[in-house]
Structure formats: structure tokens, C-alpha cells
A = this chain, B = another copy of it.
Amino acid sequence: MRLSDGVEWGVHACSLLAVLPTGSALPAAKLAEFHGVPSAYMAKHLQSLARAGILETVKGPRGGYRLARPPAAVTLLDVVEAIDGAEPAFRCSEIRRRGPAAAPAREYRGLCGINRAFLRADEAWRAELRAVTIADMALTAARDAPPSGVDKAARWLREAVR
């Protein structure tokens, strides 16, 4: 079971957009350049984030993407669901209704107990990701980054939004 690479890229991209000067935006190519990842794939994930209402596009020569709402109002779960979808990790195929012990379909009530147990685990996972925001991630990234990295990021960003 694994999340797609796009989730990692999407959280990083949103965390960078969280520290953009007000009123500015970054094109997909710049977001790809900053993270050292292929531009076409980054563009695809940014489009998913925009469709989910996490990013919005700004037209014009200094256009590109920016966060559609405050970074504290975008959770990690929002980004995960925008890129990988919201389906639970465990998909019940109702195995209990097959085979020689199967009863008529109408006699099964409620979800299979195995499904219920996995849904509880899924909800615990989602609750953790719902409690962390892009604002938290931007702050953590700035605090954890080597000082020389922070300086280089700030210089690159000033240049990129000019």
C-alpha cells in the first residue's frame, strides 16, 4: 500500500506557495524547478489540486498557481484526497457472501466486520492527516532547513515572482 509520488510533490508545492508574497503566483514550471522534479508531472498534480479547490490559477505574464485559501485551512488530508482520491485503503468485495456457506443476499445486514475494522483504521489515519495543515508544514520546513538552504530559497523566490 502506498501513496503516489504526487502526494509528496503536492504537499511540497503547497508549502512553497504558502510563503509566496501576497498577490503573487508561480507557474508550474517554476514549481517543478524549485523541487527538482519533471515539469509535466508536476503540472498534472497542480491541476488536480486546482480542481479540488486547493489552488487557483492567476492569468497573465506574472500568472501561475497560488493557494485558493489560507495555508492553515488546507490539511494534508485535503492534498492526499485531491491527488490520490478519497477511497478507503481496504475495499471489501463481500467475500462473506460467496462460496458454499453463502446465505441469500437480503439476510446480510450491515458491513462485514473485517471491513468495519479496516474502516476504523482508515479513520484514525485520516484524523491524523486532518490535524496537520500546510501552514504547519511551511513553518516546519523553514525551521528544519539548513540556514544556507533558507537563504537560497528566499533569493530564488524573490527572483521567481518578480
Binds B, one of A49-57, A58-66, A108-116: A108-116
The secondary structure that dominates the A interface is helix
Q: Are A122 and B125 in contact, CB atoms less than 8 angstroms apart?
A: yes
- Contact call B34/A99, Cβ cutoff below 8 A: yes
A5 to B3, CA, bound (A): 17
Report A1-23 CB contacts with B as 1/0, cut-off 8 Å: 11111011101100100000000
Contact present for A101 and B137 (CB under 8 Å): no
Q: Is the CB of A92 within 8 A of B8?
A: yes
B152 engages A2 (CB within 8 Å): no
Q: Would you give the 0/1 interface string for A80-119, flagging 1 where the beta carbon is closer than 8 Å to chain B?
A: 1000100101111101101111111001111011101110
Known contacts A1-B2, A98-B36, A99-B34; A121 and B110 CB within 8 A of each other: no
Assembly CA distance A107 to B149 (angstroms): 9
A37 is an interface residue with CB less than 8 A from chain B: yes
Indicate whether A124 reaches chain B with its CB closer than 8 angstroms: yes
Given known contacts A121-B129, A146-B103, A152-B103, A95 and B3 CB-to-CB distance under 8 angstroms: no
> A69 an interface residue at 8 Å Cβ cutoff?
no
Measured in the bound complex, the distance between the Cα atoms of B142 and A96 in whole Å is: 11
Q: Are B33 and A99 in contact (CB under 8 A)?
A: yes
Q: Which B residues are in CB contact (< 8 Å) with A76?
A: 114, 117-118, 121
